[in-house]
Amino acid sequence: MKIKTAQDYLKSLRKLDHKVYYKGKRIKDVTRHPATAPHVRAAAVTYALANDPEYKDLATAVSHLTGKTISRFTHVHRSVEDLIKKVKLLRVLGQKTGSCFQRCVGLDGINAAYSVTYEIDRKCGTDYFERFKRWLAYIQEENLMVVGAMTDPKGDRSKGPAEQVDPDQYLRIVERRDNGLVIRGAKLHMTGGVNSHEILIMPTTAMDEKSKDYAVVCAIPADTPGVTMIFGRQANDDRKDNRERIDSGNPLFGGVGGEAVIAFEDVFVPRERVFMDGETEFTNALVYRFAAHHRANYGGCKTGLIDVLTGAVTYLTQIQGTAKASHVRDKVTEMIHLGETLYSSSIACAAEGWPTPSGAYMVDTMLANVGKHNATRFHFEVARLAADLAGGFLATLPSEYDLNSEETGHLVKKYFSGVAGIATEERIKIGRLIESMTGGTALVESMHGAGSPQAQRVMIFREGNLDKKIKLAKALAGIAPERSRKVRKNRMH
């Protein structure tokens, strides 16, 4: 069935027979289980916006493969305009959900694999690109959600894939057959994994010839035999119980992205769904492009979250009677400034986009890495300012059971009230929202999602074009390039 609406999406997930475990027990229906349902609802918003006249231009695109209108989350970027619209869409979704909506990783994987498979075919004479286009046309037609599976466990980080004591610490090919491959291993921290229809598997690092069995790109349905998912713990996840609406903070959409471990135990992949098989020289380009696309997102989605958090804090200061204080206004201004600065990086890297040989557009990688690196700092600073302005009651607030208790409810309402005319429940609700948005899971994702801060610093240094900067400095200082080379040679002797 083709998914057209948010309700269609929920129905499609109920038809999946995938193995999902949480706290040691199998989840039968991820759309209804309190741990996973909020994340499912957040992803469903991506389908809802595609049918909303106000946002349809952002949430949909025209497929260059079929000419049909499709979800932007299944689209191959064909222009700078496409790249900019994606960033704008992500900000809107962050504002609408106050959470992660989980479809970015699959989109970024699609775009990276599209351009790289084209280049493999051109050099090696393979037919990966045609296979990939057929698979993508299917994804677009059915409007399926794809989880991009890249991060491996990595085992001993001082060793490469082929050097591990346990060879399964990086996902690998364990058998090649005429009709396909058999793979084994795992992918960690898979955002939206439990509520995706398809898994797009990619290598997590550049590889050499001895790691040929680890250089694999392929796609499988989420309920393929041999695939097991383990849903991760989230901050305050026990509050997601449907009875705890206030204490959850964001009762409709929950916390971050609903990350999961996805284990592959001798999983068969049909040949038509294999898009790289041992071409190690192209792993660097794939990882490089995926990382840039994914890091470009953070100025969109995280700014959307900052918009919500800034609004929540501003309203709380109004409830508490501190909104007009100059230091409060100054801190709120700084929250706005940090959010817009982060957003500008994503818009900039999109505006500086360029076409790959396949016709798919890439973002400016330097600006994408700078933007993501800003996210590792700015979101934490916004959270710090939010906690500063909200006050200590976030850490000591009684539960909604106490609020609703006949014995204690009147005390909670009396002593947690603010300015006259605003119900105490509103202060509690907005406080819990701030708590949920500044809790550990959200900030960890901002820090380590799309690579740790050091990963961006490595790329920023590589993209720094220091040779050009040296030439600029020499030109202004009046140092001739030829003379400087002679000086270096003389010094060596």
| Domains annotated on the chain, with CATH | 6-281 (2.40.110.10), 295-468 (1.20.140.10)
Radius of gyration (C-alpha) of the chain in whole angstroms: 24
Query: Over the stretch 317-326, which tens digit does the pLDDT of each residue have?
Result: 999 999 999 9
Reply yes or no on whether 298 is catalytic: yes
**Which residue in the list 39, 77, 100, 438 is annotated as catalytic?**
100
Q: What is the pLDDT of residues 101-113, one digit of tens each?
A: 999 999 999 999 9
Look at 135-139, 269-273, 311-315, 346-350 and tell me which has the smallest mean pLDDT: 311-315
Put simply, whether the predicted model's pTM sits higher than 0.85 gets the answer yes
- The pLDDT > 90 percentage for the chain reads 72
Please state the φ and ψ torsions of residue 418, each to the nearest 5 degrees: -125, -130
Residue 463 among the catalytic residues: no
pLDDT the model gives residue 468: 76
- Tens-place pLDDT, residues 121-163: 999 999 999 999 999 999 999 999 999 999 999 999 899 999 9
- Check 259, 279, 400, 435 and give the catalytic one: 259
Higher pLDDT, 28 or 376: 28
- pLDDT, residue 242, reads 64
Count the neighbouring beta carbons within 10 Å of the beta carbon of residue 324: 9
Query: Which residue of the set 36, 97, 191, 317 is catalytic?
Result: 191
Gap between the Cα atoms of 171 and 152, Å rounded: 7
Q: What is the mean pLDDT of the chain?
A: 89
Please tell me the predicted confidence (pLDDT) of residue 391. 84
pLDDT at 380: 86
Residue 492 or 182, more confident: 182
What is the arithmetic mean of pLDDT over 253-270? 88
Catalytic residue among 104, 189, 197, 279: 104
| CB-neighbour burial class of residue 85 (10 A; exposed 0-12, middle 13-18, buried 19+) | buried
Q: Which of 293, 294, 373, 379 is catalytic?
A: 294
Is the pLDDT confidence value at 76 over 60?
yes
Is 191 noted as a catalytic residue in this protein?
yes
Q: Is 124 a catalytic residue?
A: no
- DSSP code for 224: -
Judged against a pLDDT cut of 70, whether residue 243 lies above it is answered with no
Q: Residue 258 has what pLDDT?
A: 83
| Catalytic residue from among 60, 118, 301, 373 | 301
Of the two residues 326 and 471, the one the predictor is more confident about is 326
Question: Is 114 one of the annotated active-site residues of the chain?
Answer: no
Query: Band of the pLDDT at 492, cuts 50, 70, 90?
Result: very low
Highest-scoring range by mean pLDDT, 230-239, 251-260, 423-432: 423-432
Q: Which pLDDT belongs to residue 395? A: 80
Told to judge if 265 belongs to the known catalytic residues of this protein, a careful annotator would answer: no
Helix axes 440-448, 298-320, angle to 10 degrees: 150
Q: Does the pLDDT value for residue 229 go beyond 60?
A: yes
- Helical packing angle, 80-97 and 298-320, nearest 10°: 30
Q: Is 170 a catalytic residue?
A: no
296 closest CA partner among 248, 230, 342: 342
407 is known as an active-site residue: no
Position 1 scores a pLDDT of 55
Give CA–CA dist 49/158, Å, rounded: 45
The pLDDT value recorded for residue 248 is 76
> Which pLDDT belongs to residue 441?
52
